[in-house]
Structure 1
Amino acid sequence: MPTRSLFRRLSLINGLVFTAGTLALALSPATVSRTVLQTEIVVLAVGLAGILAINALLVRRSLAPLNGLTQLMQRVDLLSPVTRFPDRGHGDLGHLVDTFNAMLDRLAAERSASSAHALAAQEAERERIARELHDEIGQSLTVVLLGLKRAVDRAPADLLDDLHAVQETVRASLDEVREVARRLRPGVLADLGLRSAMKALCGEFAEASGIVVTTAIGPVPERGADTDLVVYRIAQESLTNVARHADATRVEVTLTESALRIADNGRGGATTAGAGIRGMRERALLIGARLTIDSPPGGGTTVRLDLEGPS
């Protein structure tokens, strides 16, 4: 550790200085007797040892904040709430501690601002794509369906089966486009609120994935559109991860006034944070919430979002 190296260097320098001073005192004519007596050497050695011990204790106490700062620097994670270094009497290092805490505050503020900007741009892009899917591609597919219907009405009997098959394919594609657009822009969230949007999300997920979903969605307080969107997106991403990676047959979704919890009975062992988990952590930080993921191998995965309170 750098702090320990600094402590050893200071102690060594001070020790050499004290030892040289003691030797000079012992060998100089200013000693009690011109010839150094054995008892005097013992006294000087004991005194030197005492001086070195006291010096080492004082130096270690003075450098203790540096060791704490080093450990905190190693733990700092910009995707987790920043922990400031305790601001209590640090002597001459107090200014360094204050400067370090101010740096952490600036990093947290810049992280929050950049994350908010990036996520706002992401939501705007989602809305744009959803609108184009619904208005452009959706309408184009609708026109194709109408044209196929006219073709079916005039087609000979030997072509009807083929045209009906094409109709069903186009109709299924139109449904998929509309479903993608709904996932990109959850209109039910803005129209009916978080509780209804969560119920709709769980129902759609169960129908699409075949995984049994147990829900316990209670009344939720008004927290604002931003918080509702964060909770919805984290639930959406968690369920997507369950469908893609968990190999689960059952998932429980619980939403209370203070927390969102999504637990599956899959294989667990999610040790690496991909883009999806990173995005969930960034969203949680935007609203001052705490996201934890517990995923023991073979024990399923539990995602929990703890909310601080109504905003």
Structure 2
Amino acid sequence: MSLFWRIFGLNAVVLGTATALLLWAPVTVSVPVVLTEAVILVGGLVIMLVANAALLRFGLAPLDRLARLMTTVDLLRPGQRLPAGGHGEVAEVIRTFNAMLERLEAERAASSARVLLAQEAERRRIAQELHDEVGQSMTAILLSLKRSADEADEPLRGELQQVQEITRGSLDEVRRLVRRLRPGVLDDLGLVSALISLTTDFAAHTGLRVLRHFDADLPALEPEAELVLYRVTQESLTNVARHADAERVEVSLRHADGTVVLAVCDDGRGMAASCEGAGIRGMRERALLIGATLDITPAPRTGTQIRLTVPAVRKQS
């Protein structure tokens, strides 16, 4: 039955019942209307309105559920669907909406993949230019400063040595930026070594205590999955340093039930689910890229836990 005929039928039932009562009930209407007759008429009208509202609420309930789902759907949290049963216009609208969600999720995943791959390519290009151009130029400056300092007399020698230390510190910062933009250790030594290097560097620069728990029997993953795990860890640690006001952070990587699970847990002040910024949405997009699941929940004691569950698909030979 279409929505039009369903609503028409509900109204017909109410009006038909009211007509039958008027025909067979021993009630008359005087002119002018007396108080008793007015009470009966108003009471009958109220009953008809209540019955009509209840029947319409029942008939339009699927549309209400669809409207609520439309206001809460998020393409970065795929899989949200409304059960579509039966026939008719309402069921067809629900099925069409679910099909639209599937199409949008697929298109969002494909577009996110293109954007993230382009972003990684740009990061590699910038890192290469920093290493080859800026790094080599600063190294040449350091060598020139050393020669000049060795040949200069005091107090010029001391000033040149100070400039030399400043330049050396800037070169170290450039190298650190290169490592952040392109984790070469990830390609050379693997995911665990890259995460150890990342957390060690994070602890040295922030002063936070970092605890690591990495399983020894982790399966080999696709390069894209390893890169996503590394980037999610990197962004999670950045969020801890900027927003959590924490003293300790724990990073774990475990193999469980055919998946690899990354967890970054801090003891900071926590984060509300409604406060997700660009960094967390970027992590969700990266998770979609490899079919992983990202969950952000309160930590067991205080703070926040970011949990990334990646299907353990082994590298193809």
If the length of structure 2 is used for normalisation, what is the TM-score?
0.80
Question: In structure 1, the residue corresponding to 2:295 is in which secondary structure?
Answer: strand
Q: Once superposed, what is the RMSD of the aligned Cα atoms?
A: 3.0
2:309 to 278, 281, 306: 306
Secondary structure of 1:131's aligned partner: helix
Match of 1:31 in 2: none
2:11 and 2:52 in contact (8 A); partners too: no
Q: C-alpha distance in 1, partners of 2:25/2:152?
A: 126
Residues in 2 aligned to 1:9 and 1:97: alpha-carbon distance in whole angstroms? 18
1:86-235 equivalences in 2 (<5 Å)? 86-218=83-215, 219-235=217-233
- Cα distance in 2 for partners of 1:283, 1:199 equals 21
Distance in 2 (alpha carbons) for counterparts of 1:110 and 1:255:
30
> Is contact 2:7-2:59 (8 Å) kept?
no
Instruction: Say which is worse superposed, 222-231 or 78-87, in terms of deviation.
Output: 78-87
Per the alignment, residue 261 of structure 2 pairs with: 259
The SS at the match of 1:254 is: strand
Deviations 1:212-238 (A, max 9, x none): 111001132122011111111000000
Could you report, residue by residue, the CA deviation over 1:158-203 in whole angstroms, capped at 9, with x for unpaired residues?
A: 3111111111111111111011001110011111111111111111
Aligned to 1:32: none
Choose the corresponding residue for 2:285, options 282, 286, 290: 282
Normalising by structure 1, we get a TM-score of 0.81
Aligned partners of 1:7, 1:217: CA distance in 2, in Å? 63
1:38 maps to a residue whose letter is P
Partner of 1:38: 26
What CA distance in whole angstroms lies between the structure 1 residues aligned with 2:171 and 2:54?
Answer: 77
CA distance in 1, matches of 2:81, 2:191: 34
Structure 1 gaps of 5+ residues are 1-5, 27-35, 40-48
Unaligned runs of 5+ in 2: 28-46
Q: How far does residue 15 in structure 1 lie from its aligned partner after superposition?
A: 4.9
Q: 1:10 to 1:299 in 2, by over 3 A?
A: farther
CA contact (8 A) 1:62 1:91 kept: no
Where does residue 241 of structure 1 map in the other structure? 239
Instruction: In structure 1, give the amino acid aligned to 2:139.
Output: T
What whole-Å deviation, never above 9, does each CA across 1:69-101 have from its counterpart, x for those lacking one? 222212201221231222433455332222111
Q: Secondary structure at the match of 1:84?
A: coil
Secondary structure, counterpart of 2:155 in structure 1: helix
CA–CA separation in structure 2 for the residues paired with 1:149 and 1:222: 46
Q: CA deviation at 1:244?
A: 1.4
* Identity level (%): 52
- Count of residues in Structure 1 that have an aligned counterpart in Structure 2: 284
Shift of residue 20, structure 1, vs aligned partner: 6.5
Cα deviation, 1:245-299, whole Å, max 9, x if unaligned, reads 2121111111112311111111223451111111111111222222122248x92
2:39 corresponds to: none
State the alpha-carbon separation in 2 of the partners of residues 115 and 18 from structure 1.
57
Classify the secondary structure of the residue corresponding to 1:307.
strand
Partner of 1:3: none
Letter in 2 for 1:287: I
After superposition, the Cα gap between the structure-2 partners of 1:223 and 1:62, relative to the gap in structure 1 and judged at 3 Å, is farther
Q: Which moved more, 1:181-190 or 1:264-273?
A: 264-273
Matched residue of 1:38: which SS?
coil
> Does the residue aligned with 1:83 lie in a helix, a strand or coil?
coil
User: Aligned equivalents of 1:273 and 1:144: distance in 2?
Assistant: 44
> CA 1:37–1:167 in 2, change beyond 3 Å: closer, same or farther?
closer
